[in-house]
Structure 1
Amino acid sequence: MQEFEKIDISSSAVPLQERWTEPRAIEHTYDCGSEGDPSNKFMTTLNWMLTPMDQTEPEKILALTVLSQLLLSTSASPLRKALTDSGLGEDIVGGGLETDLRQMSFSVGMKGLTEENVAKVQELIEETLTQLSKEGVPQTLMESCLNTLEFRLRENNTGRFPRGLSLMIASLSTWLHESDPLVPLRFEEPLMKLKEKLAAGESVFEDLIRENFLTNPHKAAVTMIPDPKYAEKEAAIEQERIDKVAKAASREELEEIVEMTQRLKEKQAKPDDPAELAKIPYLSKEDLDKNMKTVPFEEDQISGATVYHHPLPTSGVVYMDLGLDISGVSMELLPLMSLYTESLTQLGTKKEDFVSLQQRIGRETGGLRPSTYMSQLVAADGNGPVVSMLMIRAKTMSSKTTQTFDLLKDILLEPNFDNKERFRQLVVEEKAGVESGIAPSGHTVAAGRLRSQYRVGDWATEQMEGLAYLDYVKALLERVDNDWEGVLRDLRALHSAVVHRSKLVCNVTTDSDVYPGVKAELKSFLDSLPEKSSLELPSWIDQAPTPTPANEGFIIPAQVNYVGKAMNLLDAGYELTGASALAAKHLGTSYLWDTVRVQGGAYGGFCRLDMRTGDFLYLSYRDPNVNKTLTNYDGAGAFLKSHDISEEELTKSIIGMIGDMDSYALPDAKGFASMTRKITGETDELRQERREQVLGATAKDF
C-alpha cells in the first residue's frame, strides 16, 4: 500500500431513499421486436423497498434470504408455483430479494402476458402472499429451504471464483456503508437463532410477509408495454436531437467536433507507451511451475460401470457425477433430451408429486441437477468418436448418502411423465428462457451455430440447446396440445433408451475415509439399474447429417450485433500445439481488443480455439458493426504475420496462458474435470506436452 495515499472518505455515505406513504404504478414501453404478435408480450413486476442492510439485524437478513428462497427458488416454491400454474404468462421475472444495495428490495412478476392479465398477475401475487401469511408456511418447505441455505453457507462453493475475493465482495454490503464488514460473513449465530425461533413455533416467515409486503406502502407495480416500433421511434428521436445540434452549431464548432473525433481515433489506434507498460509489475517465466497440476484418482469397475474416485478434502461433502450413455437415442428423439432431463426432477415420481420431490431434494441434498454432456475423444484429426451422456450431478453430506441414492433410484427407476399440464409448463418456460437468452447472449448463440457446422457432437448440442432447439420447442408445444399421447411415448422411449448401466461412468469426489461407505451404497444403487437398454433404437450418431459450413444471419430485437466467423484449422491441415492456443490468446488481448472493442466500439471482441476439435472462432459482443468487424477478423492473419512481438509481450502472454491452465478450482470442479479428461482420452502426458509448448513458445509460433 506504500504507493497509495490516504483519502478522506467522510463524504462516502449513500443517502437513504425517502420512504413512500402509498404504492405507485409505473408504465414504460420497450422494444419487443417486429416479429410475432406483440399483444402477448407485456411484462409486470411488483417491487418493494425493504429496510437498509446496515440497519437490519443479521438474523432478519438471513430470514429474508430464506423467505425469498422459500417463495421463488424452485418449481415447488408456493409463489412461483401459483404464478406458473395460473397460465397467465410464460415465465417468472424478478430476482426476489436484492441485498447488494444499501436498501434491500424484493421483486417478482411474469412476462409473456396479455394486457388484461397484467392486473391478474399483480392480484395473484398479493393473494398468494396473503394466503401464506394466514395459513402458514408448510413445515417440509421450511426444512427444505433451511437445509439448502445451510449447505450453501457451509460449503461456500464459489466455483472458479476465488473464495477470498468472494468473501470480500460479500462484506461490501455493510462495509461500503461504514458498518461491520464481518457481519455478512458470520452466519452461525443468526442461523442458530432462526432455527430456535422456528423450533419454538414462532411465525417468523408469516410475520416477515406481513411486515415487508402486505403492509409495506413502498411498493411499485411496474408494467412494460410492448412496442414493435420502439427502436424506430428512439432512432427518430436521436436523429432529431443530432439534427438540432448540427443546425445550431457554428462552422467552427462542427470542425472542432470533427477534429476531436479524429484525435479520439488516433488515440485509440496508438499503441500504449512501452515505458508506461513497463511500470506494471508482472511475473517472469521462471516463476511459473513447469509441471502440469494433476488430480489423484482411483479407477474401479463396479457392477459393470466405470467408477472414478478422487480422494480430495471436502469436509465431509460427497460430490457424485453419474454419466449415462445416450448414444442409443435416435436422431428424432435427440432434441427432446433437454426437456427429458429437466422432467426427471420436475415432474415427480410414482411415489410423490413434483412439489414433494423438490422439497425432498432440498432437505436431503445440497443439490441434484441432470443435464446433457457432449464431447469427443481426443484424436489427431480433431474428429474423434462422440462422447454423449446424461450427466446427473449431486452433492450431499456423507451422513445423507443413503437418502441421496434412494432419491436417485426413485428419479431414474420410477419417474412419472403422465402430468400433461406440468410438462406443458416446462415447455412454455423453456421456450421463454431460450428466447430471452438470445439477445443478451448472442455471441454464445453464434458460437453454437458456427461449431455445429464442423463436428457431429456440436451439431447435436445445437439440436438440444441452440436455435434449432428453439424451433423444436415451438413445435413441441403444439404437439403437447394436439398429440399428448405421442409426446408421452417419446418421453418413455427416451427413458428406456437412456437408463441402464451399460457404459455408465460414475465419479465420486470426497474424503478418503468417507469413500468406503459411499462405495457400498454406490454398488447397491448400480445393481438396481437395468443392465442394458430395454429399447433398441438407431443411434443419432449414425443418423446425423455431415456438418457443412454455411453463412447465416439472424435478426433479433436489439440495437447491437453479435458477429462470428469460424473455420476448422485441423481440417485445413494446420497442426495445433500449445503455442497455437497461446497465439490465439494473444490475438484476443491485442489485435481484436484494439480493433473490435477500442476502435470499433463493441463491448467485447475475442477468439476461441478448441484444441480438441480444431474449431477456431472469432466473436464479438454487443457490437455496433457487422462488415467492419468482419474486415477486422480478416486482418488478423496479417497482424500475426507482421507483428514483431517483444519478449516482454510474449512473456505476459505465456503467464496468462499458464494462469488459464492452472485456474482456481475447488474439489468438486477438480474431480469433475479429471473425470471428463479420462472419458475423452486427454492424458496427463498430452497436457504436459502442451504446457511445455506454451512455456517454450517463440515469436515464430505467432
Structure 2
Amino acid sequence: MNIENLSAYEIVEKRHIDDLNSDSYLMRHKKTGARVAILSNDEENKVFAIGFRTPPKDSTGVAHIIEHTVLCGSEKYPIKDPFLELAKGSLNTFLNAMTFPDKTVYPVASCNDADFQNLMDVYLDAVFYPNIYKTDKIFSQEGWHYEMENDDSELTINGVVYNEMKGAFSSADDVLSREIQASLYPDITYGMESGGDPDVIPELTYEDYLDFHRKYYHPSNSYIYLYGNMDFVSKLDYIDKNYLSRFDRLDVDSKIERQEAFKEPKEIVKPYPILSEEKIDKNTYLSYNCSVGSTLDQKLYIAFDILDYALCSAPGAPIKKALIERGIGQDVYSEYDNGIQQPVFSIIAKNADASQKDEFVEVIRSVLKEQAENGIDKKALLAGLNYDEFKYREADFGRYPKGLLYGLQVFDSWLYDDNRPWINVEANATFAELKKEVQGRYFEELIEKYLLSNNHRTVLMLEPVPGLTDKKDEELKKKLADYKASLSAEEIAEIVKYTADLKEYQDTPDSPEDLKKIPLLELKDLKREAEKFIYEKKEENGVDILFHNIFTNGIVYLTFVFDLKNLDAKLIPYVSVLKKVIGMMDTENYSYGDLFNEINIKTGGITGTISTYTDSDDVTKFTTTLEVSVKVLHENLHDAFELVKEIITKTKLDDGRRLKEIFGEQYARLQSDLAAAGHQTSAVRAMSYVSPAAAVSDRTGGIGYFRHLEGLLSEIETSEGAKEISEKLKSLCNAIFRAENLLVDVTCSDKEYAGVPEESKLFADSLFTDDYEKVKFEIETSRRNEAFKTAGQVQYVCRAGNFASKGLKYNGALRVLKVMMGYDYLWKNIRVIGGAYGCMSSYAKNGDSAFVTYRDPNLKNSIDVFENASEYLKNFDEDERVILKYIIGAISDLDTPKTPAAKGTYGLSAYICNSKMDRIQRCRDELLGTTKETIRGLSKYVDAFMEDKCLCVIGSSEKIDSEKELFDNIEQLVNK
C-alpha cells in the first residue's frame, strides 16, 4: 500500500522539494481534522513530532506545566515518569518537549526503527491519555505546591516549573526578551509568559490546568510531523487506529490573534534585579523594538535576518559602530525573532545608562535614515546572504538531527496557515531572489517601512534595582507567613499531610509490571563495534597535515591547530583574549567591518577555540591548542587560507580603542552567560581546583577569565596599559603562530583535498619566525571551596574532584554511571523531591568528575544528596532489565550520528590524544558488559573524586550567606 491509498487520510498536497531532497506530503486526518506533514527521504535519523496550538490567556505557566506533566504517566504507560524511562533506555538521538509562546511541541528522533516506533507511541499516549486526571500529585510535583514538613515549619512553595522559571526570571537577558515581546503585543497571547511568571504560577488551580489540556490537546488541534526514511504507511495507519480514530472532530478555538498596530510608539520602563552591592550606573538595557510583518511572508522571513546582519549584528555594522562610538552600551547587538506570527526586530544596548535613552533612539533613527536614503553597503548584504545560505545548504546542526530543526521551522508557518508548512524550509529560490534585490532598493525600503515609519514599535528600558530579589523574597516570605497565620490547625495539618503524601508518592517505586510496559530494546540490538576514527597523517612540503577523507558535499573543513606547549601558562588568559580579537580588528588590508564581510562572502565563517586533549597513555599529561577553523566551498579554498593568514599575521593589535570595545563586549556577554549557564560555570571552576586541564578552561572562558577581563578593562583605560596589552598580544602571535607549532586538519573528500598541500605550504611559510623565550607549559592548581553571589533566586551547586589522582583508571562503565546518576539517583533526589530543574554528573577520561545541579532551590540539601551517592551505589540491587536500560541510554549518547565536520573533529581528537582503537573498543566492551557488581564497584570512583571536596556554588545571597561555613571564599560573581 502507498500513502495515497490510506483511507483515513486525505492528501492536500504532494510534491518533491528539491531543496531538501525530499518528497513532501501535506495531509489531513478525515475524522478529526488532525494535520500531517511528511518529508520522505533517505535520512536514517528519523524524526516524529506532535504539536498543539496552546495560546495562554495568563502568565500562570499552564502550557509549560502541561508540557512537563503529560510526560509523567499515561493510560498505556502508567508509571510515574515514562519520559525518564525512555531517556534511560532508548537509542534516541533527541528526546524532549518545548513550550513556545503560542505552541507546545513534542519531538523525538532515532536511527533505530523499533526504538523510533516505541518513542512515537509513548509520546502519543502521553499527550492524548495522560495520568494527570488520576492524581493531582503530578501537577503539584511539576507545577507548584505548598510545602510544610510539620506544623512548626515555614510554609514554602516548591515545584519543578516554579523553580525553573525563578531561574529564568533571574536572568536579565531572559527578562528583556520577555518584556520586549510583551511591550509590542500587550493585548494578545504574546503579552503573556507561557513559561509562567513565578509570582503568578501559584494562582493556577488544578481544575484550570485540566481544562487547558481538555481544550487544546485534541487531534483536531494537532500538528503531526514525520521526517526521514521509514515506512510512512505503517506509521500513519498506526497513528490512526491507535489514537486519532478514537476521537471525534472538535471545533477548537486556538486561533492566534494578531495585535492591532499601535497608533503611536510606546516607551516602557521595567525593573530587573541586581545585588545590593552592585552599582546601577552602566547597568541598564536599552532596546528599540519593531513589529515586523508576518512570518508567513516567505521573503521577509529571510530578508530581515540579512538586515539584522548588515545593520547591527556584524562587527563594524553602522548602528553597532555608531552606538559604541557614542559610548552607549558595552555590548550592542540586534535580534530578529521570526518564530511567532508577528516577528520582532530589536536593537539592544547592554550596560548603558538610563540617561542615554533619548540619545540611543536618536542615533538609531539617524543611522537608519542615512542607510535608507544613501543605501546599505552592498557587500554587507551579500555577506549576510552568503552566510545564511551557506548554513542553509550545509544543514549542520551539530548533535541535533536536521529533521528536527526543519520540523521546528515548519511550525513557523504551519501554525498560522494549514496549507503552507514548507515556505520557510524551502529557501533556495528566496535566496536567489534576494541576491537580485541587493542591487535595487528592496532592503532600504524595508528599513523605511518597518523600522522608521512603523508606529508599532517600543523603546523598552530595563533598569537595575539593587536588592530587588531579596525584597521579593522577603515579600513572599511575609505573604506565606501571613497565609499560614490565617489557616486553621486543620488546614495546616492538611498541608503537612499533603507534603508527606507527595513525598511518599515520589518515593514509591513503580511496579515491575508497569515498568515492563515501557518497550525496551535488547542487548543484541546494540552495535558492539566502536566507531572507527578516520584520519591519515601526511607530511606535505614539510607541513604536518591530518586528512579525514569523508564526503562533505563540496565543503572543506579546515582547522589550523597551534600547539601551546612552549608558552608560559601564566599567559593563557591572554590567549583567550587573542582568540577573541583576531578577526575583529583592522588588518593591513581590511578594516574590521570589511574583513568580517569578506569572510562571510568567501567562507562559511571563521572561528577560534582553545582546546585541551588528554594523553591516552598518561592522563596526567594534556595538550593545549589554539585552533582557527574555517569552512569553505572548494572553489574558495585559496581565499580561506588567505583570510586566516590575514587575521593571524596582519592584525593591527595596537588600536587601544578597538581593544577596549571588544573587551567591553566580551565582559557584558560573560556577565550574563556565566550566571545563565551556572551549572557549567560552577563545574569548570570546581574542577579547576585540582585539575590543570580544567584550570585552562576556567582561565580561558570561565570565572577566571572573567576576572582577567575585569582587570584588562581597568588597565586599558591608560595609554601605558593599552600599550602593554597590545605588546603582549603581539608577542603571543609570534610565540603561537609558527610553523613548528602548526598542524593543518582537513575534512573533505579526495577530490576537494586537491590544492590543500600547496596552500598549506604557502600558509606555513607566512607565519612568524622571530626568536622568543620558550617556557614549558605548566599550570598550578589550589584546592578551595567558593561561592559566587548573583541576584538570582536559585542555585547551581557543584561537587567535583579527580579519581585518576587516586590511582583509578577510566572504565567504560562510567558512561552507564552518568545515565544512572542523571536519570535515577540524582533525578529522584535533586529534581523530583528537591524541585530543581536539572541535575547531572560527568566522569572524564582524565579523572575529572562532578555532580551538578541546575536552577536548584536548595544548597546544603543537594550537597547531602551528593555525599550519599556512593552509599547508593554500594547497595545497588536492581535486576538486569534496569541495568540494560542504563546501558542502552549510555550507548545512545555515545552513538549519536555525527555530521561530516564532527567525524573530522573525532579523528583530530583521537590523533592528538594518541588514542588507539583497541582502547576505545575496550571501553565500549566495558560499557556493554556492565553488571550489578560493576555498578557497585563504581562507588570507589565516586569516593575518590568526592574525597577532593571541591565545592563551587553560584546562587542567591540569602542561600549562600545561610551556609557560609561551607566556603573558604564568598564573593559577587559580578564585581562592578
Please give the range of the TM-score, normalised by the shorter of the 2 chains. over 0.9
* Deviation digits for residues 343-402 of structure 1 (CA, Å, limit 9, x no counterpart): 21011211221111111101111111122122221235x312x21111001001101001
TM-score, normalised to structure 1, is 0.95
Note the 1:645-684 alignment, pairs <5 A.
645-684=878-917
1:218 matched residue in structure 2? 456
Contact 1:53 1:99 in 2 (8 A): yes
In the TM superposition, residue 295 of structure 1 has moved relative to its aligned partner by 3.6
1:193 aligns with 2:429: no
1:180 matched residue in structure 2? 420
Structure 2: how far apart are the matches of 1:4 and 1:554? 50
Note the 1:89-238 alignment, pairs <5 A.
89-92=329-332, 95-177=334-416, 178-198=418-438, 201-238=439-476
Cα distance change on mapping 1:410 and 1:489 into 2, 3 Å: same
**Structure 1 letter corresponding to 2:825:** Y
SS in 1 for 2:538: strand
2:589 matched residue in structure 1? 351
Structure 2: how far apart are the matches of 1:513 and 1:9? 57
2:34 matched residue in structure 1? none
Cα distance change on mapping 1:321 and 1:533 into 2, 3 Å: farther
SS in 1 for 2:747: strand
In the TM superposition, residue 228 of structure 1 has moved relative to its aligned partner by 0.8
* Deviation digits for residues 143-167 of structure 1 (CA, Å, limit 9, x no counterpart): 2111111111111111110111111
1:698 matched residue in structure 2? 931
Q: 1:63 aligns with which of 294, 299, 303?
A: 303
**Structure 2 letter corresponding to 1:635:** N
Cα distance change on mapping 1:592 and 1:151 into 2, 3 Å: same
Note the 1:284-295 alignment, pairs <5 A.
284-295=522-533
Q: 2:491 aligns with which of 233, 249, 253?
A: 253
Structure 2: how far apart are the matches of 1:560 and 1:39? 25
2:629 matched residue in structure 1? 393
Q: 1:520 aligns with which of 758, 778, 797?
A: 758
* Deviation digits for residues 54-108 of structure 1 (CA, Å, limit 9, x no counterpart): 3x2x122221221122223321222222222322222125x52101111111112
1:586 matched residue in structure 2? 820
Structure 2: how far apart are the matches of 1:328 and 1:11? 67
Structure 2: how far apart are the matches of 1:581 and 1:617? 13
1:539 matched residue in structure 2? 776
Aligned CA RMSD, in angstroms, stands at 1.7
Q: 2:708 aligns with which of 444, 460, 472?
A: 472
Further displaced range: 8-17 or 302-311: 8-17
SS in 1 for 2:741: coil
**Structure 2 letter corresponding to 1:701:** T
1 or 2 for the larger relative contact order (CA 8 Å, sep ≥6)? 1
Further displaced range: 634-643 or 254-263: 254-263
1:599 matched residue in structure 2? 833
Q: 1:449 aligns with which of 654, 663, 685?
A: 685
1:427 aligns with 2:667: no
In the TM superposition, residue 9 of structure 1 has moved relative to its aligned partner by 6.5
**Structure 2 letter corresponding to 1:283:** L
Structure 2: how far apart are the matches of 1:586 and 1:97? 40
Contact 2:686 2:800 in 1 (8 A): yes
Note the 1:2-13 alignment, pairs <5 A.
2-6=241-245, 8=250, 10-13=252-255
Structure 1: how far apart are the matches of 2:878 and 2:314? 52
**Structure 2 letter corresponding to 1:599:** I
Contact 1:583 1:701 in 2 (8 A): no
SS in 2 for 1:220: strand
In the TM superposition, residue 262 of structure 1 has moved relative to its aligned partner by 1.7
In the TM superposition, residue 512 of structure 1 has moved relative to its aligned partner by 1.8
Q: 1:365 aligns with which of 603, 618, 631?
A: 603
In the TM superposition, residue 592 of structure 1 has moved relative to its aligned partner by 0.2
Q: 1:51 aligns with which of 290, 293, 296?
A: 293
Q: 2:783 aligns with which of 532, 549, 558?
A: 549
1:36 matched residue in structure 2? 278
1:418 aligns with 2:658: no
How many equivalent pairs are there?
A: 690
Structure 1: how far apart are the matches of 2:358 and 2:515? 58
1:621 aligns with 2:860: no
**Structure 1 letter corresponding to 2:805:** D
**Structure 2 letter corresponding to 1:509:** T
- 5+ unaligned residues in a row in structure 2: which ranges? 1-238, 936-976
Q: 1:564 aligns with which of 795, 798, 802?
A: 798
Structure 2: how far apart are the matches of 1:556 and 1:148? 37
SS in 1 for 2:639: helix
Contact 2:291 2:344 in 1 (8 A): yes
Structure 2: how far apart are the matches of 1:83 and 1:160? 37
Contact 2:533 2:906 in 1 (8 A): no
Cα distance change on mapping 1:4 and 1:194 into 2, 3 Å: same
Structure 2: how far apart are the matches of 1:80 and 1:159? 29
Contact 1:324 1:390 in 2 (8 A): yes
Structure 1: how far apart are the matches of 2:534 and 2:678? 39
2:507 matched residue in structure 1? 269
* Deviation digits for residues 291-337 of structure 1 (CA, Å, limit 9, x no counterpart): 01124322101344321111111111110011012222223422111
Contact 1:91 1:111 in 2 (8 A): yes
Cα distance change on mapping 1:665 and 1:519 into 2, 3 Å: same
**Structure 2 letter corresponding to 1:373:** S
Further displaced range: 82-91 or 20-29: 82-91
TM-score, normalised to structure 2, is 0.69
SS in 2 for 1:346: coil
Structure 1: how far apart are the matches of 2:745 and 2:277? 46
1:88 aligns with 2:328: yes
Structure 2: how far apart are the matches of 1:162 and 1:665? 10
In the TM superposition, residue 179 of structure 1 has moved relative to its aligned partner by 4.0
Runs of 4+ that moved beyond 3 A: 6-10
SS in 2 for 1:44: strand
Q: 2:269 aligns with which of 23, 27, 39?
A: 27
SS in 2 for 1:664: coil
In the TM superposition, residue 695 of structure 1 has moved relative to its aligned partner by 0.9
Contact 1:439 1:557 in 2 (8 A): no
- Identity level (%): 26
Cα distance change on mapping 1:311 and 1:355 into 2, 3 Å: same
In the TM superposition, residue 595 of structure 1 has moved relative to its aligned partner by 0.2
* Deviation digits for residues 249-298 of structure 1 (CA, Å, limit 9, x no counterpart): 33332222222222212222222333332222221111111101124322
Structure 1: how far apart are the matches of 2:699 and 2:474? 39
* Deviation digits for residues 614-665 of structure 1 (CA, Å, limit 9, x no counterpart): 1220100111111100100011111111121221111111111111211121
In the TM superposition, residue 561 of structure 1 has moved relative to its aligned partner by 0.8
Structure 2: how far apart are the matches of 1:239 and 1:296? 59
Structure 2: how far apart are the matches of 1:135 and 1:272? 69
Structure 1: how far apart are the matches of 2:593 and 2:897? 36
SS in 2 for 1:552: strand
**Structure 2 letter corresponding to 1:121:** F
2:616 matched residue in structure 1? 378
Contact 1:317 1:397 in 2 (8 A): yes
Structure 2: how far apart are the matches of 1:371 and 1:336? 13
Contact 2:535 2:908 in 1 (8 A): no
SS in 2 for 1:605: strand
- 5+ unaligned residues in a row in structure 1: which ranges? none
In the TM superposition, residue 111 of structure 1 has moved relative to its aligned partner by 1.7
Structure 2: how far apart are the matches of 1:255 and 1:50? 54
